[in-house]
Amino acid sequence: MSGTLLYTIIGHDVPDSTALRTELRPRHLEHLRALQEEGRLIAAGPRPAVDSVDPDAAGYAGSIVIAAFDNIDDARAWADADPYAIGGVFERVEVLPFVKVLP
């Protein structure tokens, strides 16, 4: 990953996003797998709406992705192309520089 920086992409879900998340999940995962295959994905996963690994009916509040990109514009472009962003799961998306210190 020489020459790249890390970015945290935080998607904030619209209310009652569970059905839409379920519908778009296969395409969302495909989008993430492309980053993984390129060796740029550090971590990715949903943010439960409640303090539980399985939020059940409470659903999810959003998602977090930490990945390497050449610059913040590339990170934003990737985030904008995410099926969750295009399909309306996210009401807003933050893209922030990230410096990994540990592990």
Q: What is the pLDDT of residues 20-43, one digit of tens each?
A: 999 999 999 999 999 999 999 999
Q: What is the CATH number of domain 5-50+59-98?
A: 3.30.70.1060
Question: Which residues contact residue 7 at a Cβ distance below 8 angstroms, ignoring those fewer than 6 apart?
Answer: 66, 67, 68, 69, 72, 75, 95, 96, 97, 98
* Residue (of 83, 81, 42, 80) closest to 64 by Cα position: 42
Q: pTM to 2 decimals?
A: 0.93
Q: What is the pLDDT of residues 49-97, one digit of tens each?
A: 999 998 988 999 999 999 999 999 999 999 999 999 999 999 999 999 9
